[in-house]
Structure 1
Amino acid sequence: MNDSDIRSFFMPGEKLLWSGRPAQGILLTSQDFLLVPFSLFWGGFAIFWESTAISTEAPIFMKLWGIPFVLMGLYIMAGRFFVDAAARARTESVVTDRRLIIRRSGLFRHFSTSQLELLPSLSLEEGSRGTGTIKFGVPSNRRMSGWTPGLANQPQLLGIDNARQVYSLLEQARSECRNR
């Protein structure tokens, strides 16, 4: 993805205010405080169940029964971090004087655009060193947003640098849109 690609979605006269990408690599969020222990419990139990079923003379049904649970356990313990990193590596966000544009390419392709004045609310989760996440509105679909933040349906600028400055820029742009 490059600037010329995302600019093809601009409307006539639309001005770029900010563009960026989410944090790259493995990203822990505040939700991981609960998700990591749960995933270790789930995955550990599933692996224990499956290894016990395989090492004993359990019926074949019992041996097969645990496989999906082990696979899910492996995903929530470790795989989700890699899926999330891959999704964020292919995500680009743009704030213009009128809209928020978020585009993700690759396997989990997604494109969204929102008029700034129609976004219901902004929230800032600021971390150390000025990085943070700006979320827009109330989450509508939480299926994957906790486990894999990069795949959340809720518009967000996830793990961006200078989050407070971008938040202020958004608030100012929203105000100007409403006053037009």
Structure 2
Amino acid sequence: MNFDAQQIVQRELDSGEKLIWAGAPKQGTVFRGSDIFMIPFSLLWGGFAIFWEVMVLSIPKDDAGAIAYVFPLFGLPFVIVGLYMIFGRFIYDSKKRAKTFYGLTDRRAIIISGLFSKGVKSLNLATLTDVSLTEKSDLSGTVTFGHENQMANFFGGNSFPGMGGANVPKFELIENAKDVYSKLRAQQKG
């Protein structure tokens, strides 16, 4: 068990509740399947937005009048979005995972997360019906609670602030995912 995760999850337990497992998602920069689409798209978007901004900033101010001031302002939001898509989303995702902890008790699955404020998601094991496991060759993986929207994942689902609400709860990018999945299923049966 991850010691930090164990301490943090322990604080959320009810009286008489027993902690079975505690962990956290993989830390650092993580590339996902959606990045096959998102990286080239972000480079095209960001590259064009930066090109636009450089070109409009090079317009002589005295020849263009108000356009020389309006066009750079118009392009600025596109540059900001482009820079976020190119590298900001990786920083956001990494910081968000650094503040995420998972727990499995004899009664529920607990997800503690939040970049600026702590949120606690509690899933009653007795009422969970759709639990799935995705495992990689290194035995890491994800335990998902509910039906995943694959289209949202393809377009970077979690990589944009505010978009995480559409995703189903999960123990994402954990070590020994099958072991955690087996412990969860055993608690549901017992």
Aligned to 2:136: 127
| Cα-to-partner distance string for 1:77-117 (whole Å, 9 max, x where unaligned) | 10110111111111111001110111125415321111012
Structure 2 gap ranges (5+): none
User: Which amino acid letter does the alignment assign opposite residue 27 of structure 2?
Assistant: Q
Query: Cα gap change, 1:4/1:20 in structure 2, threshold over 3 Å: closer, same or farther?
Result: closer
Is it true that 1:169 corresponds to 2:183 in the alignment?
yes
Query: Cα gap change, 1:104/1:71 in structure 2, threshold over 3 Å: closer, same or farther?
Result: same
- Secondary structure of the residue aligned to 1:22 is coil
TM-score by length of 2: 0.80
User: Which amino acid letter does the alignment assign opposite residue 172 of structure 1?
Assistant: A
Contact between 2:5 and 2:22, CA under 8 Å: does it hold in 1? no
User: Which amino acid letter does the alignment assign opposite residue 141 of structure 2?
Assistant: G
TM-score by length of 1: 0.84
User: Which amino acid letter does the alignment assign opposite residue 46 of structure 1?
Assistant: A
In structure 2, distance between residues paired with 1:38 and 1:108: 31
Structure 1 gap ranges (5+): none
RMSD: 2.4
After TM superposition, the runs of 4+ consecutive aligned structure 1 residues lying more than 3 A away are 1-5, 142-146
- Secondary structure of the residue aligned to 1:128 is coil
Match 2:40 to one of 18, 37, 51: 37
Is it true that 1:87 corresponds to 2:96 in the alignment?
yes
Match 2:71 to one of 31, 51, 62: 62
Contact between 1:144 and 1:152, CA under 8 Å: does it hold in 2? no
Aligned to 2:119: 110
In structure 1, distance between residues paired with 2:44 and 2:118: 32
Aligned to 1:146: 158
- Secondary structure of the residue aligned to 1:117 is coil
User: Which amino acid letter does the alignment assign opposite residue 152 of structure 1?
Assistant: G
User: Which amino acid letter does the alignment assign opposite residue 26 of structure 1?
Assistant: T
Moved more, 164-173 or 70-79: 164-173
Query: Cα gap change, 1:120/1:51 in structure 2, threshold over 3 Å: closer, same or farther?
Result: farther
| Cα-to-partner distance string for 1:5-48 (whole Å, 9 max, x where unaligned) | 42232122221111001000001112222222221221112112
Count of residue pairs the alignment pairs up: 174
Q: What percentage of aligned pairs have identical amino acids?
A: 37
Match 2:14 to one of 11, 16, 20: 11
Is it true that 1:136 corresponds to 2:150 in the alignment?
no
Aligned to 2:84: 75
Task: Name the larger-Rg structure.
Answer: 2
Contact between 1:18 and 1:94, CA under 8 Å: does it hold in 2? yes
In structure 1, distance between residues paired with 2:46 and 2:31: 19
Moved more, 81-90 or 103-112: 103-112
